[in-house]
Amino acid sequence: MSKGPGLFTDIGKKAKDLLTKDYSSDQKFTVSTYSDAGVALTSTAVKKGGLSTGDILTQYKYKNTVVDVKVDTESNISTTFMINEIVPSTKTIASFKAPDFNSGKLEVQYFHDHATITTAVALNQSPAIDFSATIGTPTIAFGAEGGYDTTSGNFTKYTAGISITKPDQSASIILGDKGDSIRASYVHYMDLLKRSAAVGEITRKFSTNENTFTVGGQYAVDIYTVVKAKLNNHGKLGALLQHEVIPKSVLTISGEVDTKALDKNPRFGVAIALKP
C-alpha cells in the first residue's frame, strides 16, 4: 500500500485511543497464542456485573489474505475475510455473522499517494451504503464520509474532518452527527517512541448546547509499565495501569469514578492479556 493520507477513520484516532483504549470497568481475561504457520488463537472472557460472556477468535494469515472467525457464548459466528491487492493499491474486506446472514458487508479500500477512498455495501435486499474519501498527505489530510439508506432514500450520516500530523504532535477537527457536533483534539508526544503523551479534546453538541472537555495523558514509568489518566469537565475521572509481567503478557488495571458523586462506589476493572 502507498503512504498517503490514510483512512478517514484515522482522523482523530490518536486522541481517541489515548482517551478510551484499554479503559475498562469490567473484569476481562485474554489469552493469545501464535504459530509459525500464521495461525493465531485468542480467547476472551468478560465479567460485567453478574453477567459473564466470552468468545474465541481464530485468525489465519496466508500471503495477502487474512481470515478471522469468532465464536461467542451467544452462539454467534462472525467471519471476516481481508485480501490485499486483488487490484493494485486496494484492500477488500468481506464480513458476515451467522445466524444473522443479513449482517453481511463488503468493503473496498483504495489507497493512493494523495487520496484514500472506501466504499462499503451491506449484503441484503435493502443495502445501506457507506463511503468515505480522504485527500492530502501523511502530514495534512482532509476527509469526509457519508451513509445512504437505499430503502428510505435518505442519508443516514455525513461527517467531515481535517488532521495535521507531525512527528511529535497531532491535531484534528471533526464535524459530525450531520453537522450537529464538532470535536477538536490535540496530542503532544513527550518522547521519540511516543510512549508518553498529553492529550486534550473538546466536543460541542449544538442541539443541546452541551460542551465536554477532556484532558488526559500517558506516561511510561519504565519499559514495562505505563500509566494513563483522564478527566472531563463533568467530573468523570479514569485511571489505568499496564505492566508487562512477562514478555508480551500485559496486566491492565483500570478504574473510573465520578468526582461529583463520591458517595457512590467507583468502578474498577482488571484486564489480563497473555500473548506469548
Mean pLDDT of 248-262: 81
The C-alpha cell that represents 110 in the structure block: 483504495
Alpha-carbon distance of 162 to 173, in angstroms, equals 5
pLDDT at 1: 46
pLDDT in tens, 69-87: 999 998 899 999 999 999 8
pLDDT in tens, 7-54: 999 999 999 999 999 888 777 888 888 787 788 888 888 887 778 889
Half-sphere exposure of 181 (CA within 13 A, CB side): 15
Alpha-carbon distance of 157 to 130, in angstroms, equals 9
Whether 3 is covered by a domain: the verdict is no
Whether residue 140 is predicted with pLDDT greater than 70 in this model: the reply is: yes
Say which DSSP state 23 is in. Answer: -
Measured in whole angstroms, the distance separating CA 90 from the mean position of its chain's CA atoms is 21
Q: Taking Cα atoms as reference points, which of 229, 270, 267, 276 lies closest to residue 251?
A: 270
Whether residue 227 is predicted with pLDDT greater than 90 in this model: the reply is: yes
Compute the CA torsion angle 96, 98, 100, 101 (nearest 10 deg). 50
Provide the number of structural domains found in the chain.
1
Question: Which residue do the cell numbers 508526544 mark?
Answer: 189
pLDDT at 269: 62
Whether residue 213 is predicted with pLDDT greater than 60 in this model: the reply is: yes
- Domain extent, residue 77, equals 8-274
Beta bridge partners of 90: 110
Measured in whole angstroms, the distance separating CA 125 from the mean position of its chain's CA atoms is 29
Whether 60 is covered by a domain: the verdict is yes
Residues 6+ apart with CB under 8 A from 255: 25, 238, 239, 240, 266, 267, 268, 269
Q: Are 78 and 93 in contact (CB under 8 A)?
A: no
SS3 9: helix
pLDDT at 16: 95
Whether 28 is covered by a domain: the verdict is yes
Alpha-carbon distance of 177 to 129, in angstroms, equals 17
DSSP tally for the chain: helices H, then strands E:
1, 19
CATH number of the domain at 46, please: 2.40.160.10
Question: What is the DSSP track for 227-272?
Answer: EEEEEETTSEEEEEEEEEEETTEEEEEEEEEETT-TTSPPEEEEEE
Compute the CA torsion angle 14, 17, 18, 20 (nearest 10 deg). 150
Whether 1 is covered by a domain: the verdict is no
With a pLDDT cut of 90, the percent of the chain lying above it is: 65
Whether 75 is covered by a domain: the verdict is yes
Mean pLDDT of 265-276: 62
Whether residue 125 is predicted with pLDDT greater than 80 in this model: the reply is: yes
Amino acid identity for residue 135 in this structure: I
Q: Are 145 and 131 in contact (CB under 8 A)?
A: yes
Whether 2 is covered by a domain: the verdict is no
**Mean pLDDT for all residues in the chain:** 90
Measured in whole angstroms, the distance separating CA 194 from the mean position of its chain's CA atoms is 18
Alpha-carbon distance of 59 to 224, in angstroms, equals 27
Whether residue 4 is predicted with pLDDT greater than 60 in this model: the reply is: yes
